[in-house]
Each structure stands twice: as structure tokens, then as C-alpha cells.
Chain A
């Protein structure tokens, strides 16, 4: 078991003929992901590697029974691509695109909710269930199958953490990059619930950063609903207020969204917060009694 994706996932790639889309479509396939098709308007009949290309998501779903899609189209067209996937009945939509206007996402949300579409991102590295499927731009070789679930607002910091886990003998059930934008799809609470219910997951790592109050809400949720051990890390403890740290979501505004507040919330919920990435595997092992 795992969450969201596994060896049964049938993935299509929207924007498959673009530079990033074609590169990562093949990388994902090499990892072992069941990439069944791609979408690029006007390119139906072509192939990227041996992956067939379709004009529309509807066509792709009809031909391949795809149940997940990954989006690599430019920011201007990203919201349209998510709509298209949702309308075609795709259950899981992973949006890698960085720089999507926030109001585009806001306008999408009610429709996605009505359709029951699960969205990850935008501005995210994707997700991986080690040994089964990788839907994203993450480097596959650092992951190892195991029992630690991981969720993160950041990309490369996720790799850093996963590397710490793997080199210390801790494999992962599923690792999800939820993205760095202020308005995004699946977030901590939904993923915590999935990991809590996933029999393969025995411990959870939550990697947060400054800005917003999602970590505080996650802490509250953990306190009330999560029985599995959770450990956390917060990036941006030294970030100055009012400055956006790369991610649109990572900004301390008027004294709220600080690392100190988030750390306090986690500690009150019984979630230890690592000061350095190297402490994460130590904390996990302590919690698992290893």
C-alpha cells in the first residue's frame, strides 16, 4: 500500500511534446511508472519515445483509461489544462508548472471540488511511491521503499530529507511535494489523513516553511486525529519579515507565518521539530523505537 499513486496508476502527461514534458515523461517511464499517453493539441498520432500523443485529454482517457495526469504546460495555460483534465474525469491532477496566477487557481477550486478531482500543486515537484510509480521531476534514485510517509512544500529540500532517510536505512511509503504556492490542491491535512489510513506508513515527516498558517492547522489536526508518529522541519527560521523567499507562499507578513509560531504549534501537538535535516532520521528512529 501507499497513497495516491502505485503500480496500478495510469498516467498521462499534458504538454508531453514540450522540453520538460518530453524529458520527464521518459524519465518517469524509466523509473517504472505506467505512463500510458501524452497530450499536445495538434500532435495526435505522434509518439514521444514509445508513448502515444493525443490532441485532448478526453481522447487520451478514452484510449488509455488514464486515471492520473501530470501537467507541464506554461503558467498562462496551466489552469485551462487542469480544467480539461478534471472535465475528462481524471481523478488525480499533478501540476508541476511554476508561476500560475493565484486567482486562476482560486477560480478553479469550486469546479474541482464538485468533480471530486484531487489536485497536487501547482509549483510542486510531484510525488513518488518508491518502487512503484513516480509522477514528477524528483530524482528517482534517492528513494527507497519503506514505511515513512513524507510531505513537503519544497522540492530540493525534500530531496535533502529523503536522502537523509534513505542513507540512514529508512525507506518511504509515498513522498508528496505539495508545492510552494499560497493556493494549492491537496495539503497537509488531507495527506495526514491518507497516511494515517495507509497500512504501509508507520511514521510521517512533515516539511514546512514560513508563511501562512497551514503548519499550525496541521499541528492541530495531528493532535486531534493522527495516532502515528510525526516529525517536522520548518525552513526559513532566519528569513526576514516582508520578503518573499522564492516561493510565493513563503513570506512572513506582519509578524504572522513565522517559523517560531509553527515550531511552537508542533511542539504543543507533541511533534518534535528537527533543527537540522540530519536530525530527521534520528527523531524518526526514536519515535519508532528503533
Chain B
């Protein structure tokens, strides 16, 4: 789960990491009021759940009232990577001398929390990682002990010469580690961390992602969730035990298991079609899931054919077949459905489907070919 910059900085502030004075705004009027309160110059920053806001023109410095109104007008309502900007953060402009990057994430390779620090702040860290990997210092943290003060100092010595800044930095890094652990984060990033003109450290931008598996014990984090329309469908699906992601094609897919669901999307593409979604109905045999899944697929008006690909393990093919039958009884399905059943109770499942006019095939390749062919005939 992702949150906005302003939310990440609220968490930073809760842990006494210094952030700039800033106010969340929803309109040009709000921005004007905020600037009055904070005093010009200010920075107006788009709040969307996508990276590269600066490059897209979503972050602007305003020194005068005229610049302020222009910036607010330009940014509010603009589109950044498919997200419409509905709110902006108006922040007091901070003059600074140096920019750094610090971030915590989980490293799959070492199976531990890793602290990353770099003197090349203010640019996307992925770019630094590609062009100049040596500029990123990595510190593996032993999760049993946590980030020790000496380690925090070690990191700080990599970035700062002045012992006053080293101490400030070490303190800040310990706070960042603590909030990362406390909130079950998967990413906590300050970029840039700056040395202000007054010689102090401050977090000018922040980014946090959280582990979806831990949200059950993070009610405060969960409250910060602001799903988009597509994500709302995905969350709704998750509550029904389905894992759903909408895509742009016209072949609706219903599959058991995430890996097989991805492979199904891939094979549709190999045969020249376009999948309309990723949909994993999971490992249970509840026919209701099939009905819910069918509802989700048919809600997408782009879907011209449905491909059901089941390899039974825990999931029993006869249960899926029963689900399909009751879905067909409850719904007015006008588009063709191609079904592939293999594994546990596949023969029983296919027997049940004989009563219908559904197309049944033996392999996923055939299912994809057939679904694409039939989608082409559907108006």
C-alpha cells in the first residue's frame, strides 16, 4: 500500500524528524490562504501516488502571488501517469546547501532490512543505482538487534563531515528505522534530506510503502489508504478472496493461482490477443467465488470473451463447474466463455459443463486461441 508525500511527512513529524512547514490544499483558494500563512516563497507540490512528479511539472516554486496562482492552476487537475491531481501540498520554500538520499527497504537477497544512503540526493535513486551504483552506501541491519547507534553513526559519517551533522543524522536515521519497523513499512525514503541554510537536517520529501500482509495490525496506516477507482475494484475483489487487476484488453481471464494467472495473460498475448485483467480466484472451492469473479469480469464492458483456466489442486474442478453453472443461471451472459479444466476432479467438472453450451478445451494454449477467435466474432 502506498501513501502520499504529505502523509509520509506526517509520520516523520510524529517521530520528530524535521520537515518543512506545509499545508494540504484542495483548491487554488486553499493554496493562496496557505501561502499567506506560510509566507512566500512556497513550493506547490502535486500529491499523487506516482513517482516522477517533478519531471511531469507537478512541483513548482512560487516567489510571487502571481506565480503562486499560476502554479496552483497548472498543477491542480493535471494528469501525472494516469492520476489526476486533486490536492497539492503548499510548503514553505527552504534554502539549503546540500541534498542527500536516505531510505530503508527490505532486501530479498539478504532477507533483511537494508539502509541506503547517498550523497546524490534529489534525483531518483533508481537512476543513481543504474549510473553510479558505488554512490549508494548499503547497510544490512540485523533484525534481531535493530539499528544500533554506532551503525547509525557509521551511515552518517558516510554523508557528513561535520560531527554536529553526524550526530543529528544518526539520531534521524534511528527514528526512521523505528518508524519503518513500527508501521510495517516496505519502503521509507527521504529524498532529498537537506542541510538547510541554518545548518540543520530536514526531510524535504518523503515516500512510504507498506506491507499489505501486515495491514491487519496497522489500523492507523490503513486509515491513510486512498484508493483510486481501479484500486477500489481490486480491494473489493480482495475482500471476496479474489486477486484482481484490471488491464486494457478484451479477453476476461479467470484462473486459480497467481503464477498460472500470469502465464494465462502471457499466453493470450503470445497468440495475439489482449488480456482484460489478471484474476486469481485462489485455492478454495467455493462456487460463490466463481460467481463473484464472473460478476467482476462482466462489469468490464471491454470484455468480449471469457477464458476460464483451472488447474485443480485444492481447488476442485467440479466445484468450479458448479459455480459456473450457478453464475450462468443468475446472470444474463451474452459473451462466449471458453473453459479449460485440468487436475483434481476435472472429468466430473467437464461432465457438469456438458449441459451447457460452453466451449471446453483440453489445454491453456487451445483455450487462449479459442477465446481470441470468439472475441473477434463478438460485437
Hey, what's the 0/1 contact readout for B248-286 against A, CB within 8 Å counting as 1? 000000011111111101111110000100101001000
A106 to B141, CA, bound (A): 10
B126 CB-CB contact with A under 8 Å: yes
B54 to chain A, nearest CB (A): 15
The answer to whether B262 and A210 touch across the interface, beta carbons within 8 angstroms, is: yes
Q: Of A28-36, A60-68, A195-203, A237-245, which stretch is located at the interface?
A: A237-245
CA distance A76 to B184 in the complex (A): 13
- Which of B105-113, B162-170, B190-198, B349-357 lines the interface with chain A? B105-113
Contact with B along A231-256 (1 / 0, CB 8 A): 00101111110011111111000111
Kindly list chain A residues whose C-beta atoms are within 8 Å of the C-beta of B262: 154, 157, 209-210, 235-236, 238-239, 245-246, 250
A139, B214: Cβ atoms under 8 Å? no
Indicate if A276 sits at the interface (CB-CB under 8 A). Answer: yes
Per DSSP, chain A at the interface is loop
> Would you call A103 and B184 a contact (CB within 8 A)?
yes
Task: Tell me how many residue pairs across A and B have CB atoms closer than 8 Å.
Answer: 170
If the complex has contacts A110-B144, A182-B106, A278-B363, are A209 and B259 also in contact, measured as CB distance less than 8 A? yes
Pairwise interchain contact A156-B216, C-beta atoms closer than 8 A? no
Task: Kindly state whether residue A121 has any CB partner on chain B within 8 Å.
Answer: no
Q: Assess whether B257 is in contact with A154, with CB atoms less than 8 Å apart.
A: yes
B142 at the interface (CB under 8 A from A): yes
Chain A residue nearest in CB terms to B185: A103
Residue contact B266 to A102, C-beta cutoff 8 Å: no
Interface membership of A160, Cβ < 8 A = yes
Known A-B contacts A139-B344, A156-B259; A183 and B106 likewise in contact (beta carbons under 8 Å): yes
Residue B365, interface by CB 8 Å: yes
Q: Is B364 an interface residue (CB 8 A)?
A: yes
Does residue A217 face the partner (Cβ distance < 8 Å to B)?
yes
Instruction: Report the minimal beta-carbon distance from B212 to chain A, rounded to whole angstroms.
Output: 7
Distance in Å: Cβ of B97 to nearest Cβ of chain A: 28
* Cα distance, A87 to B217, chains bound together (Å): 26
Q: Which residues of A contact B106 (CB under 8 A)?
A: 102-103, 106, 182-183
Cross-chain contact A99 with B213 (CB below 8 angstroms): yes
Mostly, the B contact residues are: mixed
Which of A181, A243, A255 is within 8 Å of B245, CB to CB? A243
B211 an interface residue at 8 Å Cβ cutoff?
A: yes
CA distance A77 to B217 in the complex (A): 12
| B 119-154 to A, binary, CB cutoff 8 A, 1 in contact else 0 | 000001010000000000000001110000000000
> Could you say which residues of chain A place their CB within 8 Å of the CB of B111?
105-106, 109, 183
Whether B108 contacts A212 by the Cβ 8 Å rule is yes
Query: Would you call A138 an interface residue if the criterion is a C-beta within 8 Å of the partner chain's C-beta atoms?
Result: yes
A156 to B263, alpha carbons, bound, how many Å?
Answer: 10
Asked whether A144 is an interface residue with its Cβ less than 8 Å from the other chain, the reply is: no
| A103-B217 in contact (CB<8A) | no
What residue in chain B is nearest A159 (Cβ atoms)? B311
Q: Does B336 contact A (CB under 8 A)?
A: no
How far, in Å, is B242 (CB) from chain A's closest CB? 10
The answer to whether B278 touches A152 (Cβ under 8 A) is no
Residue A275 is within 8 A (CB to CB) of chain B in the complex:
yes
Asked if A154 and B258 sit within 8 Å, CB to CB, the answer is: yes
- B interface residues, how many (CB within 8 angstroms): 54
Chain B nearest Cβ from A203, distance in angstroms: 21
Q: Does B342 contact A (CB under 8 A)?
A: yes
Contact B259 A106 (CB under 8 A): no
B282–chain A nearest beta-carbon distance, Å: 9
Chain A residues lying within 8 Å of B243, measured Cβ to Cβ, are 246
Which residues in chain A, 168-208, are within 8 Å of chain B measured between CB atoms? 180-183, 207
Provided the pairs A106-B112, A276-B270 are in contact, do residues A155 and B261 lie with their beta carbons within 8 angstroms?
no
Pairwise interchain contact A125-B363, C-beta atoms closer than 8 A: no
Alpha-carbon separation in the docked complex, A70 to B308 (Å):
31
- Interface centre among A103, A111, A153, A207, by most B CB within 10 Å? A103
**Complex Cα spacing A138 to B263, Å:** 19
For B199, the chain A residues whose CB sits under 8 A away are: none
Question: 15 more A-B contacts (CB under 8 A) besides A101-B214, A105-B111, A155-B283?
Answer: A103-B211, A110-B143, A125-B313, A137-B314, A153-B259, A157-B260, A160-B342, A209-B262, A214-B108, A235-B263, A239-B262, A239-B278, A240-B245, A244-B245, A278-B363
Task: Give 12 A-B contacts (CB < 8 Å), ordered by A residue.
Answer: A99-B213, A101-B211, A103-B106, A104-B214, A106-B111, A125-B313, A152-B259, A159-B260, A214-B108, A246-B259, A248-B212, A256-B126
Q: Which residues on A are within 8 Å of B, measured CB to CB? A: 75-76, 99-107, 109-111, 125, 137-139, 142, 152-160, 163, 180-183, 207, 209-210, 212-214, 217, 233, 235-240, 243-250, 254-256, 275-278
5 closest cross-chain pairs (CB), A and B: A154-B259, A246-B258, A156-B257, A157-B259, A101-B214
